[in-house]
Structure 1
Amino acid sequence: MNTDTATGPVADTSADAAAGTPPTAAAHKRVAVVGGGIVGTMTAWQLAQRGHTVTVLDQWNTPNDRGASAGESRIFRTLYKEGPEYVAFIQRAGQKWKELEAAQDTQVLDWCGGLTIGRPDHPDVAAVLACAHELGLDHRVLNATAMREEFPAYGVDDDEIGVLDPNAGVFRPELAVLAARDEAIRLGATYRPYTEVLHVRPFPDRVMVHTAEGSDAFDSVVLATGPWAGALSGLGDGVIRPKQLVGSWFPVKDLSLHTPDRMPISVRRHPEGAFSAFPSLDGAGVKILNHHLEWPTIDQVDDLARFVAPDFVRSTEAAVARLMPHLDPTAVRVSTWTDGYTPDGAPIVGVGPVDDRIVLAVGMSGQGFKFSPMVGSVVADLVTTGSSSDALDIMDPARFTSGASS
């Protein structure tokens, strides 16, 4: 088996190609992307745009319901409580999401807006307001009366506010993975599902990728393995820890209040419950992602429990009964999936500790979906030229790998 040659035409839409300069032979590389979730498929798209020959390998299919791209819906938000240093990166990602939708003639992101709801002195509410003020971002602050009138799906106390981010929305993640996969294939990428990568070994003139089916040589390898990152990344024990995420779906009593045109996504902070809420995408229920209970850390992704303890479900139901007045507070569906978390909560995007031809895009820590087109772009820059002007210092792997041999 040999994956050294492309299986289809490779289109080059990089900046050089747009200027009329084709990539040089030295710039053209054979690249393996290990992992076919949203980060891997976005990276494959960006690499194929730059004229590289791309092979994506995943131990499952693409998309699947095990990794961090599962769960029916994801949030895009620009007023970022995690820090204003992310905002320009997010804004550029939003433009790339629109580019992907145009290329595939599809919609995977509904710009329904987003709310952060809670008391003004809650740290997350205060952080969102500080981000908006520091960067001069569009937003509105609604008091409890205005919230009840404009967004009745959300129950609020008299001392709470809602901070509205008009540049926010809700993804359909599985469809987004399909769109990125199909655009990468259109540009010449090859996908090999159900192909588990056992080892990645650098040699002076190549990087070998070993699977149960054989071995293949590449010029560069990108590890976008999500919660499975510990096995191949060369990072130390405990740098990326997989956690079990739990989503619960609740029936709507009045669908008209819970569609994306009436119900923005939300990050809810209340003494009796903290969660993210997503508008109804199936016409029947609203997804709640519980935040006020600790997400369990699991030793191995294969240990992911598909059944959730009753106390966890009951706690989510109690929060919904208190804070979502037009939902039936009975969880009719509970689903689990995983993501990989770093100790500081920031992703790891950059050259890994093993070899500078092995690039990491892992440890997304629950943030990666919205970022993914820009993560893919940064990785493609690193593969092509060895640097990226879009890279964020906060994501640099060196914060965990300083002193490691390379």
Structure 2
Amino acid sequence: MRVTVVGGGVIALLTAVECALDGHRVTVVDQGPIPYSRATSFDQHRIIRALHPDDPPATRAALRAHRRWLELEELFATRFYERVGALTVLPPAAADAGTVLLADAGGRARTLTAGALADRYPHLSLGGAAGAVLEDDAGVLLAERVLSACVGWLKWQPGVGLLEHRPAVAVDGESGRVTLADGQVLDGDGVVVAVGPWARRLLPERVAKSLALYRQSLLYCRVPRGAAEAWAATPAVPALGTRRGAWLIPPVAGTALKLSSAAVCRQVDDLTDNATPERWQQELTAEFADLLPGFGPAWVLGTKDCYYLSHAETGGPLVVSLGGSAHAYAACGGSSFKFAPLIARTLADRVLGRVPDRTGLAALDADPLDARP
């Protein structure tokens, strides 16, 4: 079977890997270099953790994704998963419930009291009334290294081709035809579209209108030399327990400390640049001044804004059927990287005409939205 994968980010590349592992001919095409440096998934690092409070199916799915990431490290012969753990700060009762939830799902975690948090992480101001869940099977994925490893593996596979700097302008799902901006037509037996925030350009108008575009601001920071040892022992923190939804990724394997919060994620009309406006940089700086002792503008090495699409109706991901054996991962919902191996396997199964295994993620397990007129 000939499969065309449109996209240069983590979902597209892992879907191409899954199709190639099944012995199919694969062509990956993207508007920029592969991997695409403007893809939302092209970044220094991402958090991988299992705990999704009050959501057992998502917690179990995250544990399966964790195991698949370890398998992918072996397949690609590349280390990109730093298993530093993950710390989710919650009210004490919720932390106890989270630990039980993880244990029931087959994960490993322990509950930390406010006192234990203060002793372990004096460089974080987490509030005296908080508890936390500390996961063992969690940590940081080195995102750029993941994408490079995918491409490096694909280049050595027979029957796999990469077409860079070739934007797709139209997809005909029924015929399996992808038309490029230069007029070339790629014919295949199946098509997967996973182009992140650019998806609306390749989808029918009624589907595109159902997708909301979001812009998120990020700070990349250098930790003080005197605190380097403490930060080296810091897990990823997907939730710092604040009203504004602050989170951080520690500096691992030569990366920067990354800071952001849900409060600086806002809906926008169009993709523009990736520069962080001064207002949002100042807002993040002020927010983390209350969370990291001594934090200030001098810590900041750089900033970046990234974009993602969400299904307006659910606020999460969306899989779309384009007819025939063509499918699109139309929206990622802002939290797809950790689940990327499960998403890629599901997309590959759908385009290859197989019934996907259930993942526990509603957006993947539901029937795709039919985009045909």
Pair in the same fold by TM > 0.5: yes
Q: Partner of 2:198 in structure 1?
A: 228
Larger deviation, residues 44-53 vs 71-80: 71-80
SS at 2:209's partner residue?
coil
For 2:97 and 2:337, how far apart are their aligned partners in 1? 21
Q: Partner of 1:51 in structure 2?
A: 23
Q: Partner of 1:148 in structure 2?
A: 118
1:310 Cα deviation after fit: 2.4
Q: Partner of 1:174 in structure 2?
A: 144
For 2:311 and 2:186, how far apart are their aligned partners in 1? 30
Q: Partner of 1:258 in structure 2?
A: 231
For 1:176 and 1:219, how far apart are their aligned partners in 2? 28
Structure 2 matches for 1:278-357, cutoff 5 A?
Answer: 278-281=249-252, 283=254, 285-293=256-264, 295-301=265-271, 303=272, 305-325=273-293, 327-330=295-298, 331-343=300-312, 344-349=314-319, 352=321, 354-357=322-325
Tell me the alpha carbon deviations over residues 95-143 of structure 1, each in whole angstroms, 9 at most, x when there is no partner. Answer: 2222221122211111110011143467xx6884574365363221111
Aligned pair partner of 2:346 in 362, 373, 378: 378
1:264 Cα deviation after fit: 0.2
For 2:354 and 2:137, how far apart are their aligned partners in 1? 32
Aligned pair partner of 1:107 in 60, 63, 79: 79
Q: Partner of 1:93 in structure 2?
A: 65
Q: Is the 8 A contact 2:173 2:324 kept in 1?
A: no
Larger deviation, residues 283-292 vs 141-150: 283-292
Structure 2 matches for 1:236-251, cutoff 5 A?
Answer: 236-251=207-222
For 1:255 and 1:197, how far apart are their aligned partners in 2? 45
CA RMSD of superposed structures (Å): 2.5
1:282 Cα deviation after fit: 6.2
Q: Partner of 1:15 in structure 2?
A: none
Q: Is the 8 A contact 2:358 2:365 kept in 1?
A: no
SS at 1:75's partner residue?
strand
SS at 2:239's partner residue?
strand
For 2:30 and 2:134, how far apart are their aligned partners in 1? 38
Aligned length: 366
Q: Is the 8 A contact 1:71 1:247 kept in 2?
A: no
1:272 Cα deviation after fit: 6.3
For 2:51 and 2:186, how far apart are their aligned partners in 1? 44
The change in CA–CA distance for 1:270 and 1:389 in structure 2 (over 3 A counts) is: closer
For 1:300 and 1:328, how far apart are their aligned partners in 2? 31
Q: Partner of 1:71 in structure 2?
A: 43
SS at 2:315's partner residue?
coil
Q: Partner of 1:34 in structure 2?
A: 6
The change in CA–CA distance for 1:180 and 1:367 in structure 2 (over 3 A counts) is: same
For 2:97 and 2:4, how far apart are their aligned partners in 1? 39
For 2:111 and 2:254, how far apart are their aligned partners in 1? 29
For 1:243 and 1:34, how far apart are their aligned partners in 2? 21
The change in CA–CA distance for 1:383 and 1:139 in structure 2 (over 3 A counts) is: same
Amino acid at match of 2:35: P
The change in CA–CA distance for 1:284 and 1:66 in structure 2 (over 3 A counts) is: closer
Q: Partner of 1:185 in structure 2?
A: 155
Larger deviation, residues 179-188 vs 247-256: 179-188
Aligned pair partner of 2:331 in 355, 358, 363: 363
Unaligned runs of 5+ in 1: 1-28
SS at 2:316's partner residue?
coil
Percent sequence identity over matched residues? Answer: 24
Larger deviation, residues 156-165 vs 64-73: 64-73
TM-score (norm 2): 0.89
1:166 Cα deviation after fit: 1.1
TM-score (norm 1): 0.82
Q: Is the 8 A contact 2:310 2:318 kept in 1?
A: no
